[in-house]
Structure 1
Amino acid sequence: MTIDVSAERVIPLPPEQVAEYAMDWRHDADWTQGIRTAELTREAEAGGFGVGAEVTRTAYFLGRRIDYVLRVASYDFPRLLDMVSVAGPMPMHVTYGFDPHPDGTLARIRVRGGDGGFYRLAAPLMARQVRTNIGKDLRDLERRLTGAAE
């Protein structure tokens, strides 16, 4: 079984402002559930962050430490950041989208994952947990950017 979950939220700020924060790997641990550290471990060919860059993350999920590397597959600021895992416990594909909305920005996160060992057995639980986590990620992103409390 593979995982394919997504969440979306309207954030009352322009897409450029939301994307500037959310697409910056240096903020990953501030608003993304379970991520403890994120480090740019390979720059894009043109330098800095963009297609081909790699970010190494350490996270905790379902009580387990997970170290994985995401490579930027597509980068279209401020609209899209698409990353695929190139090292880690299971195949993973993470997509962030930020589109104009009458009330600000429609922010979306989609996570797709493949089968792999422990994670194959835990797929139904994982799908629910990932869906919950990315919903919280978007809530926390809005809180960080607007200073709002729910």
Structure 2
Amino acid sequence: MTIDVSAERVIPLPPERVAEYAMDWRHDAEWTQGIRTAELTRETDEGGFGVGAEITRTAHFLGRRIDYVLRVAAYEPPRLLDMISVVGPMPMHVTYTFEPDPSGTLARIRVQGGGGGFYRLAAPLLARQVRSSIDKDLRDLEHRLTRH
């Protein structure tokens, strides 16, 4: 993997509340940097969202449009959502975790990825941009959930 970055933030709400919102693909464009659209393009064999489901996202990152598909590899609400790219410009692995914390929920996002061409050459810049984006994602997640 070319990049491996993570960010974490304590959100002053219970894990169930944070995870319910953050794990719902219908909210991806509301709090995740660069995502313009997200669509459930493959349901689980049983129907709905869970292991085996696929989300197609359109994002803009470093001035480029990126279309990619993430397949759910693990889904254990309210603790874990783990997704791997099955279509896209580079291999990517995205993990969301939510753990109880004395002040609410310790929310973490980890992004691992790699690839050739532009993405290999831009790895140091890409890692900084991804870290900045996921830091902002967690800030936006907290603000969206606590603004009421």
TM-score, reference length from structure 2: 0.98
CA offset at residue 58 of structure 1? 0.2
In the alignment, structure 2 segments of 5+ residues that lack a partner are: none
Query: Secondary structure of 2:145's partner?
Result: helix
The aligned counterpart of 1:29 is 29
CA RMSD of aligned residues (A): 0.9
Query: Secondary structure of 1:40's partner?
Result: strand
Query: Secondary structure of 1:59's partner?
Result: strand
Q: Does 1:55 align with 2:55?
A: yes
Matched-pair identity in %: 83
Alignment of 1:1-150 (within 5 A): 2-147=2-147
Q: Determine the C-alpha separation between the residues in 2 that align with 1:116 and 1:139.
A: 31
Q: Determine the C-alpha separation between the residues in 1 that align with 2:11 and 2:45.
A: 32
Q: Determine the C-alpha separation between the residues in 1 that align with 2:68 and 2:133.
A: 17
Q: Determine the C-alpha separation between the residues in 1 that align with 2:145 and 2:13.
A: 8
- Aligned-partner residue type, residue 139 of structure 1: R
CA offset at residue 46 of structure 1? 1.4
In the alignment, structure 1 segments of 5+ residues that lack a partner are: none
TM-score, reference length from structure 1: 0.97
CA offset at residue 125 of structure 1? 0.1
Query: Secondary structure of 1:66's partner?
Result: strand
What do residues 31-63 of structure 1 show as CA deviations (whole Å, max 9, x unaligned)? 000000000000011110000000000000000
- Aligned-partner residue type, residue 91 of structure 1: P
Query: Secondary structure of 1:29's partner?
Result: helix
CA offset at residue 116 of structure 1? 2.4
- Aligned-partner residue type, residue 66 of structure 2: I
CA offset at residue 72 of structure 1? 0.0
- Aligned-partner residue type, residue 51 of structure 2: V
